[in-house]
Amino acid sequence: MKVWSAEIKELEKFYDSLKGQFPDLDKELERLIKTDDENVVLIYARRCLYSLFYIICHTLHVWKYERRT
């Protein structure tokens, strides 16, 4: 995907730096990086953002909410 190539490379660096620390985020980022379908990229990008939001809020004890898919 030429349109997202720069962003994908940055996500790969981010993925490498966090690999193994957050299993839920690892799974979503791996799928996001490996896909070639633009629609799937949007779906996994949303799921990654949700995972990041959950991790941050859970770490700060701001949000008392169980993670869903």
Question: Domain segments of the chain: what residues?
Answer: 5-60
pLDDT tens, residue by residue, 4-52 = 788 888 888 888 988 888 888 888 888 888 888 878 888 888 888 888 8
pLDDT over 60 (residue 63) = no
Comparing C-alpha atoms, which of 53, 20, 39 is closest to residue 30?
20
Task: Give the mean model confidence (pLDDT) for residues 53-63.
Answer: 76
The token duo for 60 is 């700060």
Per-residue model confidence (pLDDT) at position 54: 82
In the numeric block, the tokens 């997202």 are attached to 4
- For residue 66, the model assigns a pLDDT of 62
Please say whether the beta carbons of 44 and 35 come within 8 A: yes
For range 45-63, the mean pLDDT:
79
C-beta separation of 41 from 1 below 8 A: yes
Tell me 56's DSSP state.
Answer: H
